[in-house]
Structure 1
Amino acid sequence: MPTLGMPDRPHLDSFRRQARALQRAVRAGDPEAVARLARHHPGGVPDDVGGLRLSAAQFVLAREYGFASWPRLTRYLETAAEHGWDARLGARPVTDPAEEFCRLACLTYSREDGPARWARARALLDRHPGLTTGNIWAAAAAARPDDVGRLLAEQPRRAVERGGPFRWRPLYYLVYSRFDPAVPAERVLAVARKLLGAGADANEGYLFNALPPPFTLLTGVFGHGELGRRRQPPHPHWQALGRLLLDAGADPNDAQTLYNRMFEPDDSHLELLFAYGLGTGDGGPWKRRIGELDEPARMLRVQLRWAVEHHQPARVRLLVEHGVDFRSPFEGDGPAWSPGDGRTPVELARLNGDTEIAGYLLAQGAAPPGPDPVHELIAGALRADRSALNRVRAEHPDAVEEARRSRPGLIVWAAARGGSEAVALLAELGFDVNAYGRGDAPVEEAWETALHHGAANGDVELIRRLLDLGADPGLRDRRFEATPLEWARHLHQPAAAALLEPVTAPQPGVE
């Protein structure tokens, strides 16, 4: 697992300097540098640190950034230099109407995305209807097959030239364009066929701020992401366009698509990708470029974990029906919301109080988990099963204390799931209603409080109950430094805001 974060614009020279600095520090006997060497170098700390070779320091640095070796890191940096995408460009207006249209028309996977931006693109095209005639990137973004065909006839190389405000190739502008939800399918598909026929790559992709995994053409087709369907919707003709790209050789094992679409229960993207081999093969050209990307089978195991923990029973069934391993424990490093903690899918389902998914997995042949009083107590609380809680407490008096010790932020997870009764039960058990935790995944990380999630979801009943239990409306979350009231306002939850406003102390200097 990486211990250092990749910078926004990584450059090999910077990493070379870091490696030399580490080498010098180790040779000087710096305790922190020696400890880094001990953690990551297979040979440990040599008897004579004064003779440490640069290659050893390079290896340690590569491991700290999550790469198996220095050559793997340097290869990744070369890939990032060629395929990098600076997301900040989406917020920078340009004077040329054709380029500004491209900038406004396309998804950028930044806070800039949304219908208001695309309306500005439509207005710009109305004012400058000829902006697509001499600019193939704008012609692609506007889905103008006649302009694209003429420009390709003049210079076929244009199909693979990078340009426009983001330095993308034309097909990418077509696929990421959202300016017109009513754009005719025949225009979109005609442009895609012309570009593919002229040499465009169906596996085209870019590294968002130089970070893996790549945002591919398929990523743009399927849309969605952390800002939701409204601000990052799928392409209006995602099914037909997705099939066209997959028929042209796009690899269905698209990690960013799987991530962007996992937040909502709709499985239509998975059904299409499974039809083209999702979960099989070697991971395609991007896996060959970046060896640290997950194998296809592991990608789907991560999807299974998310579906189990977020009560997506239809997705669990779909994944199991397509051969995803549902029996083995999750092991090895993983993202914070999919840790390799040694639990099986059925154990996770039971731990989250999800009897439906647990029952399905058991019926499919999963091994029933052994007894665990702490897990049984947590599961009982999350499903608001007081009788189960009373039984566990009677049989295992220490289970409550151990549950509070191991899951101090559990009440945040319960609140995010909309569990008003579960929150009340956890408070009875001594869980702190003002504890910090994560609501997007059942892992311990001090992000926000339960009251923040009541505000975000507009759950007036939960907010009232939390306030009655002693929740502090003045606490700020640890990522955005905002109060629950500010969350409610930002997420357009007027009823929640009206309830929180009278009990939230005004910010100094703000009326």
Structure 2
Amino acid sequence: MPGGLNLEQLRKRAKELARAEGVKLAEAQFRIARDHGFPSWPKLQAYLRRVAEHGETLQHPYHQDVEYYAERALGLLASAEDGTPGAREPFERRNQPLTRDGARAVVAREHGFVSWRALRDHVKSLVDSGEPFARAYRAIEARNPEQLDTLLGEFPGLVDARGTNGNDLLGMAGATHDERLSRILLDHGADPARGNVHGWTPLHQAAYSNLPLLLDLLLRHGAPTAVSARGDGGTPLVVALFWGHREAAEILAQHSRAPGNLRVAAGLGHLDAVDELLTSGNPGAHRGFYRPHSGFPHWQPTDDPAEVRNEALAWAARNNRVDALEALVARGADVNADVYRGTALAWAAAQGRLAAVRALLDLGADVNHRGTFGGPNHGEGVTALHLAAQSGHLDVIRTLVENGADPTARDAIFDSTPEKWAEVCEQPAARDLLK
């Protein structure tokens, strides 16, 4: 039981305290509840009953925003529809359909509540509930290592407890970019190999956030590098390459065997592997992973050779691998292809990869190509200049404009120019440059 609390033992202690101090039992129970951080005995009692009933499989609510759970339910559904085993299993165990309502029912029951409404009502009062997991999450969110260390000392079982969709505290700590929190959790025995329902481990999170120090820390504690999340081939290395996080990718490449496909070879700039895969290998293998989270739309990768080459071109671009770009185009890659949420030029511009931008323009990329990028509610009909402006990459902006990029182009969702994108995304230098 998280924290080692036992309801029967606490009841016994309350009776002993009442007799020893000559107070009413309710007063003794209230004191014990407050000693453990709960506002009342009924709150403590309800929490312990829920934990006792569901045991180690219980997921602890920790976020105060009700919409957070609705989004996690949709993410669980998307991952289940992609065939991720850890995401499909709770639907089967709870006998729920792969629908929005089914996903909400699963999330509620995984948290120990009979309905979505019951979970929602509980979450509304979560900040005052005193539940240890929620308190530990708030310490992580506040980047307060001292408070987290104190809570773990008082409730040692917290390192093994899980939150929504199987996320544990070590996984959450990686999202803060504060390695001190992860170090404290590891010192208290947190498991660096543990994944959530999507298969996402702390090492995936460190790769996603491009945190070299955290990567080193987790690798020293034995974090596995060959684990796939969100589809076949979705290792931490592949997650780093998806975002163009070269520093993280190069660290992980030293500790792991890369999934043998063209996009990974291109992202790492391994030209011998690129050539070998295109001539005699299977360049489209292990591409079940195609998105890091369900904010990106559904897609089904195929073994079409053109799709495989064109996707690899975008991965080379976001990782600034100029030699790989030239090699792939020479082998037939379409420099303007938008395989999945972004052309090579769009990715290079978004990630500020100036060398790749220049190389792609020299190779014939259309500087004003309108395509997709990111989530379906973000990038439709966008140009590379919109994406460079959004991230404030001034050298890329200058290069694109010098090569004919249209600063008056408007995207298809917001009907906004690159200058407006810079303004909305709080990039004043880019905004002023585009004026």
Identity %: 21
Q: Secondary structure at the match of 1:177?
A: helix
Correspondence for 2:131 among 141, 147, 169: 169
Alignment of 1:16-415 (within 5 A): 67=88, 71-72=92-93, 74=95, 79-83=106-110, 164-165=126-127, 169-177=131-139, 185=146, 187-196=147-156, 200-207=157-164, 212=165, 214-224=166-176, 233-234=177-178, 237-246=181-190, 252-253=194-195, 255=200, 257-279=202-224, 301-308=234-241, 312=245, 315-316=248-249, 318-320=251-253, 322=255, 324-326=256-258, 328-329=259-260, 344=261, 347-352=262-267, 354-355=268-269, 358=270, 368-371=276-279, 378=313, 383=321, 399=332, 402-405=334-337, 409-415=343-349
Unaligned runs of 5+ in 2: 1-68, 97-102, 113-119, 284-304
Could you say which residue in structure 2 is the equivalent of 1:491?
425
Q: Check 1:251–1:167 CA distance in 2 against 1; reply closer, same or farther (3 A cut).
A: farther
TM-score, normalization: structure 2? 0.53
Q: How many angstroms apart in 1 are the aligned matches of 2:385 and 2:110?
A: 41
Letter aligned with residue 348 of structure 1? R
Question: Matched residues in 2 for 1:9 and 1:415: separation?
Answer: 30
Aligned-pair distance for 1:494?
1.7
Q: What is the distance in 1 between the residues matched to 2:408 and 2:217? A: 46
Distance 2:141 2:212 in 1: 25
Q: Distance in 2 between matches of 1:314 and 1:448?
A: 28
Shift of 1:312: 4.7
Matched residue, 2:26: none
Distance in 1 between residues matched to 2:348 and 2:213, nearest whole Å: 28
The number of residue pairs the alignment matches comes to 311
Q: Provide the C-alpha distance between the structure 1 equivalents of 2:129 and 2:416, rounded to a whole number of angstroms.
A: 36
What is the root-mean-square deviation in Å for CA atoms of aligned residues? 5.4
Change in CA separation of 1:412 and 1:178 when aligned onto 2, cut-off 3 Å:
same
Residue 434 (structure 1) aligned with residue 391 (structure 2): no
Task: Give the conservation status (yes or no) of the 8 Å contact 1:416–1:453.
Answer: yes
* Distance in 1 between residues matched to 2:252 and 2:208, nearest whole Å: 16
Secondary structure in 2 matching 1:369: helix
**Higher relative helix content:** 2
TM-fit CA distance, 1:81? 0.8
> TM-score when scaled to structure 1?
0.46
1:465 aligns with 2:399: yes
Cα displacement string for residues 384-418 of structure 1 (whole angstroms, at most 9, x for unaligned residues): 569957x976xx7xx47x44456582220221242
Contact 2:192 2:218 in 1 (8 A): no
CA contact (8 A) 2:409 2:417 kept: yes
